[in-house]
Structure 1
Amino acid sequence: MEGAHGPALEHGLEQHGALTTVARQVLDALAATQAEIDATVDARVADNPLLVRGTPRRCRWCACALHDGRCPACSGSGAGLRRPDAAAPTDDRERTRLDARALVPHGAEGDVDAVLALLDDRGLLPPGTPDPPTPRLATALAAVRAAGPPGTAEPGLVASLVAQARWHVAHGAPPLVLVLVRDHLARLGTPDLAAEVGAGAEELEAAMHVVRTRLTPAPLPVAASDGPATPPDVIVRDLHGRLVVDALGPDDLGLGIDDELTALALDAPAAAWRDAHLSEARRLVYLLGRRADTLRRVTAVAVDVQEGFVRRGRSEHRPLTRAGVAGALGLHASTVSRVVAGAVVALPGRRVLPLAALFGTSQAARDAVAALFASDDPPRTDAEACDLLAARGVHLARRTVAKYRATTRPR
């Protein structure tokens, strides 16, 4: 497997308590979805005369080189790429259910299902629901919150937003984000907010950017998607038997800086105006390049581990953690988490799935356990199942077998 490797992100970027403005912008760019990136680029191009759109070099849907502005593989439309990957483990709610069931004591898995059944279409506990709904469900509720996206299963919208803000602050966002959401939610956007919270204009804008772009009223929505409505964040291609990972940067997309205006001799006031826009344009190009490079590098390591899964499907899924990928790349674990969250990968065969599907516990092991207990002669105990699985080359602890037996279904 091959992947292009550019300059590494600084080691321990998120280990520092005080991040620079550029560092925060890098982290925000890593966590942004493709739709958010597109919206940002459109707005910046419209506002900044130093940013220009040239002819894209590669297709945003499949990364093939364009000829006369057209993609020879998919006509640049993404036709056929919006079909969800049948090998993807589950949707977000089902994945949360399976992960949460693995966190509770044996015999309490049904309580997880009961908690999820209580959630509304946004993934929240309905108004008036006690927290926890019953003492018996306290452990299951905690497991669902731990397994789901930040803000899941909170009692109402405000509690969900506060929980999301607390999570983002713990993962590098400005502490002011939590203050705004917890104490000043009703006053967001008012002109005297900066003075009320004792923050400067730049500090307030950085916090408000997180509030606007990263917090959601529906942390775990009921979704039946036909696949991404926007191009994938990262693309894996099979080129002559090798898996090649691509994430398109600004040059690939035709986004650049107006060299003629940059070099134009201007008087001092006009030059100051031009240089301010030039600085912003260069920063955007830099952030997009860093985002593409990090997406490419993280996905390349994941695909190295999951090549069988990419080529042949869920039966060859292998265990993979975000911390493991972070260690291989010399990144902070939360940086990899930001990259993976919300990103979509296009695979060979015109399949798409969440990038997160390359991570997690071994789907192959789950399927082996499910198949064993669904057979005509199932094992009588989990210990006996361990022995039978080991004879087939699947080595699991007895407790792991018990968890997989409870949380997987034969397919």
Structure 2
Amino acid sequence: MEGAHGPALAHGLEQHGTLSVVARQLLDVLTATQADVDAGVEARVAANPVLVRGSPRRCRWCASALRGGRCPTCSGSGVDVQSLDPASPVDARERVRLDARALVPHGREDDVDAVLALLDDRGLLPPDTPDPPPPRLAAALAAVRASAPPGTAARGLHASLVAQAARHVAHGAPDLVLVLLRDHLARLGTPDLATHVDATPDALEAAMHVIRTRLTPAPLPVAARDGPTTPPDVVVREVAGRLVVDALGPDDLGIGLDDELTALALDPAAAAWRDAHVADAHRLIYLLGRRADTLRRVTAVAVDVQEGFVRHGRSAHRPLTRAQVADRLGLHASTVSRAVSGAVVALPGRRVLPLAALFGTSQAARDAVRSLFASDDPPRTDAEACARLASRGIHVARRTVAKYRTTP
């Protein structure tokens, strides 16, 4: 943010004890959580007759463009968490039901309801369900599976986990994930697993991380909501194979000025009253825009470094500091720290993490150290561990090895 009123200048003013009102407000909004920002906007809209909340353009939850006020990606609406659309589906099964009914031939919509009625509390078919299904339900079953999370409507838990593993492998997870779930489910967690699958400890740990963090025994549980109860501050989406970062600004959220009131001819006293409110509205819109821009830019740099982590999880995490991001953006490190503090990022695959998770020491190095010392041939000293890790391209100091080896 290089503008004359950006956070870098605000920090400099702060250091000299001459922080302006707008600069102080900018620092405050950078450190505010999304829930606090939403509450503040609602209060300002209620108190300022010039400020209006119109129809949002993009979804608060996934940043997709809305169509007719609804999100075609997650079936949510663009409204904030304080005033959820009562007509929107709040239950994951209801969302699947509506989406699947749109996929079956006209007149066969009730078949979708019949399929959903067969699912247990976890979203699975009983193992004794006929295979193939009755011809009348085949299309509805296919529609439910196409509309629901992977593994839904599988016959039993094992089939569900295999279906989930296959989906993640198709989207970049290690092939070993599918091998483990399909052929070695009973051995997961046993000490001799690596010998049975002929995999290195690092490869096995990477696959197990996917299994632990991305697979679930309940792909479509009863009354499961469609995501977090508070919208994220920033969203990372995959578009045509690329990771795209979005942070919603005032235009995306439908926040603007009442054009009719601002253009109205008034006497001098009334015009002065209105102009004061117009200035206040412009200030809020500016602050929201600068917050969104800072979050977007900071997250974009972090995602550029951490693309492996975003796509594959902890095993691909790389070291990254706030100061490094600040240097790339030409900002002060304190500005980046304020933007990261308390912010939440939504990642592909419905993962929601603190934005701070993209920063810090390398989780991959930490996991490699632990795996090395837990292997059948652990190093005798920390120095030996450094050398063996360096041969794999993982360079860490001896004292770092000692810390990772002893801390949880």
Coarse TM-score class (shorter-chain normalised): 0.5 to 0.7
Structure 2 match to 1:366: 366
Alignment of 1:241-390 (within 5 A): 241-390=241-390
Provide the C-alpha distance between the structure 2 equivalents of 1:79 and 1:15, rounded to a whole number of angstroms. 48
Provide the C-alpha distance between the structure 2 equivalents of 1:339 and 1:351, rounded to a whole number of angstroms. 20
Structure 2 match to 1:62: 62
Q: CA deviation at 1:15?
A: 2.2
Provide the C-alpha distance between the structure 2 equivalents of 1:344 and 1:300, rounded to a whole number of angstroms. 14
Provide the C-alpha distance between the structure 2 equivalents of 1:325 and 1:61, rounded to a whole number of angstroms. 25
Where in structure 1 are there 5+ consecutive unaligned residues? 84-225
Q: CA deviation at 1:406?
A: 1.2
Where in structure 2 are there 5+ consecutive unaligned residues? 78-89, 93-148, 150-225
Alignment of 1:2-21 (within 5 A): 9=6, 11-16=8-13, 17=16, 18-21=18-21
Q: CA deviation at 1:6?
A: 8.9
Q: CA deviation at 1:73?
A: 0.9
Provide the C-alpha distance between the structure 2 equivalents of 1:333 and 1:12, rounded to a whole number of angstroms. 12
- Do the aligned residues in 2 keep the contact of 1:12 with 1:331 (CA within 8 Å)? no
Structure 1 match to 2:238: 238
Provide the C-alpha distance between the structure 1 equivalents of 2:47 and 2:9, rounded to a whole number of angstroms. 34
Deviations 1:180-228 (A, max 9, x none): xxxxxxxxxxxxxxxxxxxxxxxxxxxxxxxxxxxxxxxxxxxxxx984
Q: Which amino acid aligns with 1:64?
A: S
Q: Which amino acid aligns with 2:10?
A: L
Deviations 1:378-403 (A, max 9, x none): 11110111111111111111111111
Identity over aligned residues, as a percent? 76
- Do the aligned residues in 2 keep the contact of 1:6 with 1:293 (CA within 8 Å)? no
- Do the aligned residues in 2 keep the contact of 1:317 with 1:362 (CA within 8 Å)? yes
Who wins on radius of gyration, i.e. which is larger?
2
What is the DSSP-based 3-state SS (H/G/I as helix, E as strand, rest coil) of the residue aligned with 2:8? Answer: coil
Provide the C-alpha distance between the structure 1 equivalents of 2:352 and 2:2, rounded to a whole number of angstroms. 25
Provide the C-alpha distance between the structure 1 equivalents of 2:56 and 2:366, rounded to a whole number of angstroms. 43
Provide the C-alpha distance between the structure 2 equivalents of 1:398 and 1:366, rounded to a whole number of angstroms. 13
What is the DSSP-based 3-state SS (H/G/I as helix, E as strand, rest coil) of the residue aligned with 1:52? Answer: strand
Provide the C-alpha distance between the structure 2 equivalents of 1:294 and 1:397, rounded to a whole number of angstroms. 34
Q: Which amino acid aligns with 1:400?
A: T
Provide the C-alpha distance between the structure 1 equivalents of 2:57 and 2:34, rounded to a whole number of angstroms. 18
Q: Which amino acid aligns with 1:13?
A: A
What is the DSSP-based 3-state SS (H/G/I as helix, E as strand, rest coil) of the residue aligned with 2:66? Answer: coil
**Residues paired across the two proteins, number:** 260
Deviations 1:32-56 (A, max 9, x none): 1000000001111111110111111
- Do the aligned residues in 2 keep the contact of 1:13 with 1:332 (CA within 8 Å)? no
If asked which structure has higher relative contact order (CA below 8 Å, sep 6+), I would say 1
Alignment of 1:118-129 (within 5 A): none
Provide the C-alpha distance between the structure 2 equivalents of 1:316 and 1:79, rounded to a whole number of angstroms. 33
Provide the C-alpha distance between the structure 1 equivalents of 2:356 and 2:256, rounded to a whole number of angstroms. 31
Q: CA deviation at 1:10?
A: 5.5
Provide the C-alpha distance between the structure 2 equivalents of 1:58 and 1:321, rounded to a whole number of angstroms. 31
Q: CA deviation at 1:404?
A: 1.0
Q: Which amino acid aligns with 1:300?
A: A
Provide the C-alpha distance between the structure 2 equivalents of 1:266 and 1:6, rounded to a whole number of angstroms. 37
Q: CA deviation at 1:76?
A: 1.4
Provide the C-alpha distance between the structure 2 equivalents of 1:293 and 1:312, rounded to a whole number of angstroms. 27
Provide the C-alpha distance between the structure 2 equivalents of 1:228 and 1:335, rounded to a whole number of angstroms. 27
Provide the C-alpha distance between the structure 2 equivalents of 1:269 and 1:34, rounded to a whole number of angstroms. 37
Say if 1:234 and 1:6 are closer, same or farther in 2 by CA, change over 3 A: farther
What is the DSSP-based 3-state SS (H/G/I as helix, E as strand, rest coil) of the residue aligned with 1:11? Answer: helix
Provide the C-alpha distance between the structure 1 equivalents of 2:228 and 2:25, rounded to a whole number of angstroms. 25
Deviations 1:51-102 (A, max 9, x none): 111111000000001010000111116877xx9xxxxxxxxxxxxxxxxxxx
Structure 2 match to 1:229: 229
- Do the aligned residues in 2 keep the contact of 1:62 with 1:74 (CA within 8 Å)? yes
What is the DSSP-based 3-state SS (H/G/I as helix, E as strand, rest coil) of the residue aligned with 1:63? Answer: coil
Q: Which moved more, 1:283-292 or 1:227-236?
A: 227-236
- TM-score, structure 2 as length reference: 0.61
- TM-score, structure 1 as length reference: 0.61
Structure 2 match to 1:214: none
Provide the C-alpha distance between the structure 1 equivalents of 2:3 and 2:298, rounded to a whole number of angstroms. 13
Say if 1:54 and 1:79 are closer, same or farther in 2 by CA, change over 3 A: same
Say if 1:21 and 1:298 are closer, same or farther in 2 by CA, change over 3 A: same
Q: Which amino acid aligns with 2:8?
A: H
What is the DSSP-based 3-state SS (H/G/I as helix, E as strand, rest coil) of the residue aligned with 1:13? Answer: helix
Say if 1:227 and 1:372 are closer, same or farther in 2 by CA, change over 3 A: farther
Alignment of 1:189-208 (within 5 A): none
Provide the C-alpha distance between the structure 2 equivalents of 1:70 and 1:384, rounded to a whole number of angstroms. 58
- Do the aligned residues in 2 keep the contact of 1:56 with 1:251 (CA within 8 Å)? yes
Structure 2 match to 1:45: 45
1:394 pairs with 2:394: yes
- Do the aligned residues in 1 keep the contact of 2:227 with 2:350 (CA within 8 Å)? no
User: What CA RMSD, in Å, does the superposition of the two structures yield over aligned residues?
Assistant: 2.0
Provide the C-alpha distance between the structure 2 equivalents of 1:266 and 1:396, rounded to a whole number of angstroms. 69
